[in-house]
Structure 1
Amino acid sequence: MKRKMLWSVVGYTAVIGASLLTRHSAREAYRKTTGTAPPENPGRRDTQWREALVWGMASGALVGVARVVGQRLGDEARRRRERRRPLEHLRD
């Protein structure tokens, strides 16, 4: 049971790290592309609809992809580790 919890933590850490890195990269890409910072709060009245929608779609899509990649990499690492020691789970 402990091993399963450890790999869950590793997997979630990979997902969170990938999401944070992607969000930071998306902000920088938006800043370089538009010359302005992305909207802090897309729901504010002084934010234009176009700006809010573009930022929401772009950041949401990128973070979603990063989460999937993080999950896949975490699961792949777990599978590789389990293949190396196939009988180790019998000791727990």
Structure 2
Amino acid sequence: MKKKKKKKKHKLSSEELLGMVAASSATLAGTAVRSLLNKSWKKVMKNDPPLNPASPDTSWKEAIAWTVASSVAVGLAQLLARRGADAFLQQASGYKPGKRNATFGGL
């Protein structure tokens, strides 16, 4: 009988943990802001936001307004969440994050 090889447990590095927390924070923040933006749009514009701004049924004015508003709001929320997560982990653990690869969203 063959003995089963024990799998080595991979311990997360501080950089990996920081990347996971920052990405999770940014995702949650983006989702929350998107929901708030949808509600705000309905209140101000008196109709639902466009589901597909590229659709010919959506006016250019509405498509551009929605794209700019949602991009700016979600982008800022994600930035704030990532920086907040970095600051929190640095304060909690004393670990100062290095430069992350911006190509992959900091992961």
Is TM-score (shorter-chain normalized) higher than 0.5? yes
Q: Secondary structure at the match of 1:15?
A: helix
2:29 to 15, 18, 25: 18
1:44 to 40, 55, 66: 55
RMSD: 1.4
Is the aligned partner of 1:34 residue 2:45? yes
Q: How far off is 1:82 after superposition?
A: 1.9
Structure 2: state its 5+ residue gaps. 1-10, 96-107
List aligned pairs for 1:63-82, cutoff 5 A.
63-82=74-93
1:60 to 59, 62, 71: 71
Structure 1 residue runs of 4+, over 4 Å off? none
Give the % identical residues.
26
Aligned to 2:6: none
What CA deviation, in whole Å up to 9, does each residue of 1:32-62 have, x standing for no partner?
1011000000111110000000000101100
Structure number having the greater helix percentage: 1
Larger Rg belongs to: 2
Question: TM-score when scaled to structure 2?
Answer: 0.73
Number of residue equivalences: 84
Aligned to 1:2: 12
Q: How far off is 1:16 after superposition?
A: 0.4
Q: Secondary structure at the match of 2:56?
A: coil
> Aligned partners of 2:13, 2:37: CA distance in 1, in Å?
34
